[in-house]
Amino acid sequence: MIVHTINKVSALGLCNNLIAEDDKVVLLEDGVYLGLQPLPFLVFAIRFDVDARGLGGLLAAHTESIDYSDFVRLCAEADKVCSWF
Amino acid sequence: MNFAIVVHGAPYSSEACLSALKFAKAVLASGHSINRVFFYHDGVHTANSLIAPPQDEAPVSEQWQEFGTGNNIELIACIASCLRRGILDETEADRYEKSGSNLAPGFTISGLGQLIDASINADRVVTFGV
């Protein structure tokens, strides 16, 4: 399982076709805007960045909001972390 | 578990060094370790000791210094990136006959080999891009 991090909306286009079914996607910084729409992956969004943009309560139903300790745990559970930016 | 952290973004033009700092603190708080933080490309601006933000703003460079020295974690700034951006320690300032040095305490200027070494020896490498 790979954790993919995405820090801006445009970076999704780089990795869209490279994310496997059991991979996880962590949205951070401006990437959290992607969490507003349903995506065909397991999606997590950094709560600090969601709140900083006033997006709390607006995330798509299956976008899970997480803190940095959850982010660390996801990285530890993954085989590797791939950052898209 | 051992983490290596790579930072590509400069303070004030990218959130990378702020996000990376929050992540780094969470790594230690979760009981993991960090073998090295490598500042690359514009990320080396974090190591500029002459940054003077307004008093009501979080001084992200100083926060990194405190984090590095307080937890005994190496903060490496890429030498090729530093020289091009005017981040110099005393040795490099002398070598290139510049008027002064500005590398912040707690940071070390070194080569890309340090990134390779950190990547080989870490269980996870996490990069914070621009």
Per residue in B52-68, pLDDT (tens digit) is 999 999 899 999 999 99
Q: Residue B26 in contact with residue B126, Cβ under 8 Å? A: no
Where in chain A are the domains?
2-84
Domain that holds residue B108: 2-128
List the CATH number of the domain containing B29: 3.40.1260.10
Q: Which of B19, B123, B130 is nearest residue A28 as measured by Cβ atoms?
A: B19
Q: pTM for this structure? A: 0.97
Residue to test with chain A: of B27, B33, B40, most A Cβ within 10 A:
B27
The CATH homologous superfamily for domain A2-84 is DsrEFH-like (3.40.1260.10)
In SS3 terms, B53-114 reads as CCCCCCCHHHHHHHHHHHHCCCEEEEHHHHHHHCCCCHHHHHHCCCCCCCECCCEEEECCHH
**Which positions of B are catalytic?**
78
pLDDT in tens, A15-74: 999 999 999 999 999 999 999 999 999 999 999 999 999 999 999 999 999 999 999 999
Is 0.90 exceeded by the ipTM? yes
Cβ contacts (< 8 Å) between A83 and chain B: which residues?
126-129
Say how many domains are in chain B: 1
Q: Tell me the shortest Cα–Cα distance from A24 to chain B, in angstroms.
A: 14
